[in-house]
Structure 1
Amino acid sequence: MALRACGLIIFRRCLISTVDKPKIEFLLLQASDGIHHWTPPKGHVEPGENDLETALRETQEEAGIAADQLTIIEGFRRELRYVAWEKPKTVIYWLAEVKDYNVEIRLSREHQAYRWLGLDEACQLAQFKEMKAALQEGHRFLCSTAS
């Protein structure tokens, strides 16, 4: 049976100057165990939850960001499929923007650090090609829908 997890690719927009378009920064969390990999908040679906409910719960648990502090971006949903611990795994991500640029991040014991990173830096820390691709696709999506 395939493992299933859901999460949010959380971002914020910061103005570098008044003439620039906002720079997009992604939130990545560093795992406390294993290879200490960097990913957005995510976790396994619990009985009775739908996928988006799981993503919102996991974000609250792992980063301390509540659903009402986020805006889910319509039209972006990505399924990443890969093999983890010799089992097929699917992780579904949505894009979510924090409403407050300076939102407080409160990490769970599952993570030891967090960073807000531009696309290039985020892709360097994300060790898995599927995660890098999801970040790049999310960035392209945001840039193509920016007004």
Structure 2
Amino acid sequence: MALRACGLIIFRRLKPEAPTLKAADNIEFLLLQTSYGIHHWTPPKGHVDPGEDDLTTALRETEEEAGLNASQINLIEEFRKEIVYTVKNKPKTVIYWLAELKDATTEIKLSSEHQAFSWLQLPEACKLADYQDLQEVLKEAHQFLCIKT
């Protein structure tokens, strides 16, 4: 049976400190460091529960893992990316949507599944995201946001 997980790529926009700062430079992505396994960094995500739809899973997992509920974000449903990879010889599909944190100063409240979090600009986020497919999703999200603004 194939594994299925869903999550949100959470970003925030910082207020430019200098008038020369480009819009692309004020975007930061939220990554969480797992407290298990190899302690990899990932956006909030988790497995789909029976009878649950994908977007509900993404919202639930974001609240469970980062303490952010639907009222604190603006969901960008037109950005939806699916990645497929193998875990323990089983295919796993992960679907990500993009969501902006409404208030850039909102506190992140980690669950026991994670030991740290960080807000990162794209180059740093890609360095921490060990997996190539996640790096590509972050780059696509960043490009999408730069075109939109």
Category of TM-score, reference length = shorter chain = over 0.9
Matches of 2:118 and 2:17, distance apart in 1: 22
8 Å Cα contact 1:15/1:21 also seen in 2: no
* C-alpha RMSD of the superposition: 0.9
Instruction: Summarize the alignment of residues 57-96 of structure 1 with structure 2, pairs less than 5 Å apart.
Output: 57-96=60-99
How many residue pairs are counted as aligned between the two chains? 146
State the shift of 1:75 in Å.
Answer: 1.4
State the shift of 1:86 in Å.
Answer: 1.4
Question: TM-score, with normalisation over the residues of structure 2?
Answer: 0.95
Matches of 1:18 and 1:71, distance apart in 2: 26
- Residue 14 of structure 1 corresponds to 14
8 Å Cα contact 1:107/1:113 also seen in 2: yes
What's the % identity of the aligned pairs? 63
Matches of 2:119 and 2:97, distance apart in 1: 17
Which structure 1 segments of 5+ residues have no match?
Answer: none
Matches of 1:120 and 1:15, distance apart in 2: 19
State the shift of 1:15 in Å.
Answer: 2.3
Q: Which amino acid aligns with 1:101?
A: A
- Residue 4 of structure 2 corresponds to 4
**Aligned structure 1 segments of 4 or more residues deviating by more than 6 angstroms:** none
Deviates more, 1:89-98 or 1:70-79: 70-79
Look up the SS of the partner of 1:33 in the other structure: coil
State the shift of 1:21 in Å.
Answer: 3.5
8 Å Cα contact 1:42/1:55 also seen in 2: yes
State the shift of 1:49 in Å.
Answer: 1.2
Matches of 2:120 and 2:33, distance apart in 1: 13
Question: TM-score, with normalisation over the residues of structure 1?
Answer: 0.96
Q: Which amino acid aligns with 1:36?
A: H
Residues 12-71 of structure 1, C-alpha deviation per residue, up to 9 Å, x if partnerless? 001232522441000000000100000000000012211000000000000000111000
Residues 101-143 of structure 1, C-alpha deviation per residue, up to 9 Å, x if partnerless? 1011000000000000000000000000010000000000000
- Residue 45 of structure 2 corresponds to 42
Matches of 1:120 and 1:89, distance apart in 2: 26
**Alignment pair present for 1:100 and 2:119:** no
